[in-house]
Amino acid sequence: MNKLQKLFSHKRNDLLSLFFTAGYPHLEDTGSIILESQKQGIDFLEVGMPYSDPLADGPVIQQSSTVAIANGMTIEKLFAQLQSIKGEVEIPMVLMGYLNPVLQYGTEKFLENAASCGVSGLILPDLPVKEYVEEYKPLLKKYNMSFIFLITPQTNPERIRMIDDNSDAFIYVVSSAATTGKQSAFGQEQQAYFQRISEMGLKNRLIAGFGIHNEQTLQQAWKSLHGAICGSAFLKKLAAQKNVAEAVHLLRHDLAID
């Protein structure tokens, strides 16, 4: 059982995760963001590996990737940063990125190094479910890492159940088919979608993402699902504040969880 699975075994609801792009806004911010988020009670973290063509991401996250790459962030650098704070990190970490850089790095080498840094899970939105099951699932099991799939309002029930059958941590419930950072509030259609997924009786935790930025959107996600991930709003705070501690504190204030 990895750290992510252990978290879900004792905390069922009102989970909060933050997404940030490694190497943003400054190259060496990664460790301080992780440790400060842990200190301020965040349940788990989604660490973005910057990529030049992030298809699922909105303008805020795309810009953070551009800046991080310009800062010199690489997968190798990220692993070095994670390794340097490994002994201090207690909360689960999930890496989010895209398949091509992982293939270029070497899939098994990537998973081995990620696991050695304390990473519990991996999100690769452009990896098809069938390919994951046939080629990647045994490797992730070997390194005790969970793979997280995304679903949208357009994902059919048969595919959702197949994803649930091949997952062992959580399912990332994308609030809409749009890219990240676009939602001002969740309307009735999105709330009905959250409720519909909740009522399917799936075995994995359901964590909402895309559009979580204030008390209203967080509470709407928590009402039907087990947790939420806040990304673009957190990146904006990191860019605007003088230090990481203030950015996390102000985001918690916006979400009304202080």
Query: Given 29, 36, 46, 164, which residue is catalytic?
Result: 46
Give the ranges where the chain is alpha helix by DSSP (H).
3-10, 30-39, 59-71, 75-85, 99-105, 107-116, 129-131, 137-142, 157-165, 188-198, 215-224, 232-240, 244-254
Spatial separation of the C-alpha atoms in residues 250 and 176, rounded to whole Å: 26
Is 46 tagged catalytic?
yes
> Beta-carbon neighbour count of residue 256 at 10 Å?
11
Q: Could you confirm whether 131 is annotated as catalytic? A: no
Give bridge partners of residue 123 from the DSSP assignment.
Answer: 96
C-beta of residue 192 within 8 angstroms of C-beta of residue 173: no
Q: Which of 103, 101, 105, 108 is nearest to 48 (CA)?
A: 101
Pick from 129, 132, 204: which is nearest to 167 by CA? Answer: 204
Name the 3-class secondary structure at 2: coil
- Name the 3-class secondary structure at 147: strand
Of residues 29, 36, 57, 164, which has the active-site annotation?
57
Question: Which residues are within 8 A (CB) of 59 and not within 5 positions of it... i.e. 6 or more apart?
Answer: 179, 181
Whole-angstrom CA distances from 226 to 76, 115, 173, 195, 213 are 33, 25, 10, 11, 17
User: Could you give the residue numbers annotated as active site?
Assistant: 46, 57
